Structure 1
Amino acid sequence: MTKLKISFFFIFIATALQAQQIKSIQLKPLQENVFTSIVPLGTVLELSFDDLEADSKNYQYKIEHMTHDWKKSRMLTSQYIDGFDQNTILEVTNSFNTLQSYTHYSVQIPNINSVITKSGNYLLSVLDDMDAVIFSRKFVLYENNAIVGVSVERSRDTKTVNSQQTIQFSVSHPNLQINNPRQEIQIVLLKNENWNEKITNLQPTFFKQNQLLYTYTNQTNFWGDNEYYNFDTKFLRNRSLGIQSIQKKEVYHHFIYPTSYNPYKKYTYFPDINGQFLIRTLEGNDANTEADYAMMHFTLAVNQPFEEKEVYVFGGFNNFEITDENKMYFDPESSTYKTHFLLKQGFYNYSYATVGKDHKVNLREVNGSFDETENQYTVLVYYKAFGAVYQRVIGMGTGFLDQNR
């Protein structure tokens, strides 16, 4: 038993180290400049990622149907997939003419071996040759059986009128007979498609014929936060947007313009892509294999360190997660938080987050929170009729704050 535990321990360590070498994970449609993984049933999504160990491993993908709250559903694989739920990733290419070597992997879902037949939440995992999960990504396939109208306005609470946004929406279902909406319908409300920032367990406030209304005053409020910062590394050797200086070492090191903490910061509009990132290079023909990696240096200047809180660089580049790699460390000599890590050439949104003892991610402390911030809100409508075995996603709607209101 002791030997078995030791073996599992070393497998766990090896898997964790291997996962640290996985970079630039994207799951999105084939269209350019589209970042969503919430798409109509039948849409082709492409999963792509790089392995910096550059040794052409035998990775597999696995597809699992989930409930609205991301628990494994009761359906058998054959009930939601024609073909196989697990297959080898065959599109494997090595980097070309880059300082940082890597192997690029990609797979399209659905494909000839795996055709998804049901709407719903899905978990797409990548496994190594020991069937250990290296990483997972969520995606949603929806039907167009309900019309979802979404309205985004400033908060109606006088205490948060300048810092929060409220979302109201309606669900019209003329082609579906919903007998008991309180039991048959589940709503998930997402901010910027970040599954760590969502509101659930919402019940209709009003009922009309073939229509459900959700017109809460405070229950659907989100902090507005602020627009994301950005930088562009499409040029590896020359400065571009957001880059203060460049040094060439084992790879190129890009130093981003420092951000200064200001607790009295006022809102200033500038366009962002809500935390997402785009891989691109102007120094090669194929960004998948010719875009290089640069060591990105982040600096946050403060008067004094945040008390009993840790600071992180935050964004879609690491799936809006808090990890050791994107943690910042305080330098008392310069009164700055600093960190650095590798990112592939491209256009990136990022922000700064603090995390206290409550383990909650707070974007407001460094960046402020404003009712004017342009955020995207997504409403997903899940329907499970009495006696049904799974939850369908019968509709999806999105809404943005009207900057001209």
Structure 2
Amino acid sequence: MKTKITLLFLLVFFPLLLTAQGVQEVPPPNYIRTVIFNDGSGYSGTPVLRIGEMFNLEFDDIIGDEANYYYTIEHYDYDWTPSQLVKSEYMEGFDNVRITNYTNSFNTLQLYSHYKLTIPNEDTHALKVTGNYMLNIFNQAREIVFSRKFMIYEPLTQVGVQVKRSRDVKFIHTRQVVNFAVNSPDFIIRNPEESIYAVILQNNNLKTGIFNVKPQYHIGSELIYKYDQLTSFWGGNEYLNFDSKDLRAATVKIKFIEARDLYHHFLFSDRIRAFEPYTYNPDINGKFVIRTMQGRDPAIEAGYVWTHFSLQTFDIFEGGEVHLYGEFNNFILDDSTRLIYNMETGAYETARLFKQGYYDYKYVFLRDDGVLDEGFISGNFEETENDYSVLIYYHPPGARYSRIIGMGNASSVNISN
């Protein structure tokens, strides 16, 4: 029976495999927790900044020994290979300095040191050119601890984005297609078929992006992208969520609480949603927000909680692994996100350490061939609310680096035929 169920899932929800090129981010070790990378908006993610804007990186070291950490910033081309620029050409000031803004946790069971880096700062005054960047964090032994990508753009073009239903009847209820046009009345784009590269992101997730899309055709100064399957994403489903802002009080999602060495929150069991009708469930598209009712400053007064998850299935899924998925760890699948099947309860279960706050999450299926299937458990629906971003890269022949000359956004709330 379980073999038939697995085969049916794989046939109905065949995944979309899209990977970025070039350098990859280094995931943080187990003792580095709650990495928040943003433009000051409050939500963590991959920052896409207008040139001149500031951004923040925050993280916790749960060893709590006030270790020394340093940072460097590197510039990359559209395909995430190193650009030909030297550091002085893309940076005003210097990097490779210690992060001096850190504070120890206060009144928490789990001790930690909280670090915060803001750029620009007194050392790194400005990033002078647009394009792809990597922020690298090192320890005192000059070993890289983790790294995060970000992008800087300049609004030299106008990017109009629309989300459409698929024109293929087979996918009309499961996929969302991103169409867009790039208008550059005041900026001359030479040889756009060879020099323009578009990147499309769903919910700010680089790991599932569509890269290096070429213009379909152009009319005057406008580049047109009206592909169907080439620029389509699985619709997915709305994220589930929990809120652990109160350590000692259960909520609509938390079934019960146990106080051990740390607090343990046991969530109500979730179910497979792939074959159920779509139900609107407000979410923040996989993101999270740190908050606590036990203190005034969540950065250093929010505690750490073991959160227990349960996915009721009554059967084992063959051919892959079940994982938690969300921005809480930059959409990384590892041992801390994997769920193990419990024969006694008929459910996939796991426990993971989270800092107090509001979190979006969903369950995904990682196949044995390495392909991630987001809709295997949650389903794919064209009604799902997703945010889309389109970045336009310009790299004419002979250029020494790739510029990002425009960005556009759209939401599938306004999906149309």
Distance in 2 (alpha carbons) for counterparts of 1:20 and 1:165: 36
Alignment of 1:133 onto 2:144: yes
Higher relative contact order (CA 8 A, sep 6+): 2
Alignment of 1:398 onto 2:391: no
Distance in 2 (alpha carbons) for counterparts of 1:67 and 1:241: 46
Shift of 1:299: 0.5
Alignment of 1:44 onto 2:54: yes
For 1:201, what is the secondary structure of its paired residue?
strand
Give me the TM-score of the superposition, normalised by structure 1: 0.93
Match of 1:5 in 2: none
Distance in 2 (alpha carbons) for counterparts of 1:26 and 1:18: 12
- For structure 1, the 5+ residue unaligned runs are 1-15
Shift of 1:34: 7.2
The superposition leaves residues 296-353 of structure 1 with CA deviations (integer Å, 9 ceiling, x where unpaired) of: 1010010211012111111101100111111111111111111111100111000001
Structure 1 residue aligned with 2:131, among 120, 123, 127? 120
Structure 2 residue aligned with 1:371, among 373, 382, 403? 382
Deviates more, 1:50-59 or 1:32-41: 32-41
Alignment of 1:65 onto 2:101: no
Distance in 2 (alpha carbons) for counterparts of 1:241 and 1:402: 26
Change (3 A) 1:291 1:323: same
Structure 2 residue aligned with 1:198, among 201, 209, 229? 209
For 2:398, what is the secondary structure of its paired residue?
coil
Distance in 1 (alpha carbons) for counterparts of 2:268 and 2:72: 40
Query: Which amino acid counterpart does residue 31 of structure 1 have in structure 2?
Result: S
Structure 1 residue aligned with 2:371, among 341, 360, 365? 360
Shift of 1:357: 1.7
- For structure 2, the 5+ residue unaligned runs are 1-25
Match of 1:30 in 2: 40
Change (3 A) 1:263 1:402: closer
Match of 2:92 in 1: 82
Contact 1:372–1:403 (8 Å) recurs in 2: no
Match of 1:219 in 2: 230
Shift of 1:255: 0.9
Match of 1:231 in 2: 242
The superposition leaves residues 52-80 of structure 1 with CA deviations (integer Å, 9 ceiling, x where unpaired) of: 00000010011111122222222111110
Give me the TM-score of the superposition, normalised by structure 2: 0.91
Identity of counterpart residues, as a percentage? 39
Shift of 1:386: 3.3
Distance in 2 (alpha carbons) for counterparts of 1:350 and 1:107: 26
Distance in 1 (alpha carbons) for counterparts of 2:269 and 2:67: 38
RMSD: 1.6
Contact 1:265–1:367 (8 Å) recurs in 2: no
Contact 1:243–1:254 (8 Å) recurs in 2: yes
Distance in 2 (alpha carbons) for counterparts of 1:47 and 1:241: 32
Aligned residue pairs total 390
Query: Which amino acid counterpart does residue 109 of structure 1 have in structure 2?
Result: I
Query: Which amino acid counterpart does residue 155 of structure 1 have in structure 2?
Result: S
Shift of 1:190: 0.8
Change (3 A) 1:117 1:363: same
Distance in 1 (alpha carbons) for counterparts of 2:184 and 2:28: 47
